Amino acid sequence: MPLHRLASVTIGVPHPEQTAPYYLHLGLTPDTDGWFATRDGGRQLRIVPSPTRRLAEIHLEAHDEDDVRALAGRLARLGVARTPRARELVTRDPVTRVAVRVTTGPPRTPPSVPPTPYNGPGRVERHGRAAAVCRDRPVRPSKLGHVVMGSTDVAATTAFFTAGLGFKVSDTVKDQAVFLRCSTDHHNVMVMAAPVTFLHHTSWQVDDIDEIGRGAHAMLDGHPERHVWGLGRHHAGANFFWYLKDPAGNFTEYYSDMDCITDDHLWKPEVFDGARGLFAWGPTPPPSFLRPDDLADLMVSSHHAG
């Protein structure tokens, strides 16, 4: 596949100065010009001013200039507007109008991390007290894993990412959502059916389930309004999760242990329905998870902007 990673996202919010501290607390490192960095992925989130909260740009990385040219050709055959340069391509999903920027860069090799030893039936990997219960360092996400966006035409937006940008379909939630990947992660972009284009959530990888729990509890200490849904485990992607909400209304997810697809021939996409499309176990998701509380306001704003 020509792409190899989701490099960053740019999100617009009405009051960046009120939203930025949330992402510091989430564990990201501040940089210049509204940027925030993860532990291993570099600058992966930018916050810019916007009349309403929105997903402004998705930044992807390709292997080389030949891949960028190939993507420009694919988009041209679809009739999608694009601005190709030697090492960069800028385009826009015709449905959601979210900008997509593709640049070149080598794949990032994450630093080697010793696996967390776990005890279980038939195996004893850990002798003595679990180190996880003794951790006291702040939780820092290792990378941006994926972004989820609402689209008024899931099929057309999916075609833009697959036929136009070379993403592959990992799984589908019947009539509701499509999980798309441009790396070995189960999904880097998810497109969900919605009455208006909006940013549902960004997702941030941490080392294990203990880091999800520690990170979420730290985020909720003194801020119970940030809680959305968790702790649980998804069926599609199989990752553990806990969802929180930033001051602008965007959801964020701590996750770990996601399915990795290293051989396309060994992976069979499935179509899920009902609860399996949302989770394998965990608390029942609140109605606001699928229809955020400000969705009606976003629809009105979109209508006026149109």
pLDDT digits (tens, 9 = 90+) for 250-273: 999 999 999 999 999 999 999 999
Single-letter amino acid, residue 71: L
Two structure tokens written together for 49 = 């001013």
87: confidence class by pLDDT, cuts 50, 70, 90: confident
Check if the beta carbon of residue 72 is closer than 8 Å to that of residue 36: no
User: pLDDT at residue 170 above 70?
Assistant: yes
User: pLDDT at residue 85 above 90?
Assistant: no
User: pLDDT at residue 224 above 90?
Assistant: yes
Percent above pLDDT 90 for the chain:
92
Mean pLDDT of the chain: 96
Look at residue 101 in the predicted model and tell me its pLDDT. 98
Look at residue 306 in the predicted model and tell me its pLDDT. 63
Look at residue 303 in the predicted model and tell me its pLDDT. 67
Look at residue 213 in the predicted model and tell me its pLDDT. 98
Look at residue 112 in the predicted model and tell me its pLDDT. 86
User: pLDDT at residue 62 above 90?
Assistant: yes
Least confident stretch, 18-27, 76-85, 219-228: 76-85
142: confidence class by pLDDT, cuts 50, 70, 90: very high
Look at residue 30 in the predicted model and tell me its pLDDT. 98
Look at residue 232 in the predicted model and tell me its pLDDT. 98
Look at 115 and 256; give whichever has higher pLDDT.
256
> Rounded distance, CA 251 to CA 42, Å?
21
> Rounded distance, CA 226 to CA 229, Å?
10
List Cα–Cα distances, 14 to 45, 54, 211, 254, in angstroms: 16, 10, 30, 24
Look at residue 254 in the predicted model and tell me its pLDDT. 98
Q: Is the peptide bond before 231 cis (omega within 30 degrees of 0)?
A: yes
Look at residue 263 in the predicted model and tell me its pLDDT. 94
Look at residue 116 in the predicted model and tell me its pLDDT. 87
Q: Which of 240, 247, 229 is nearest to 14 (CA)?
A: 247
Indicate the pTM of the whole model: 0.96
Please report which residue ranges of 39-81 form alpha helices under DSSP H: 65-78
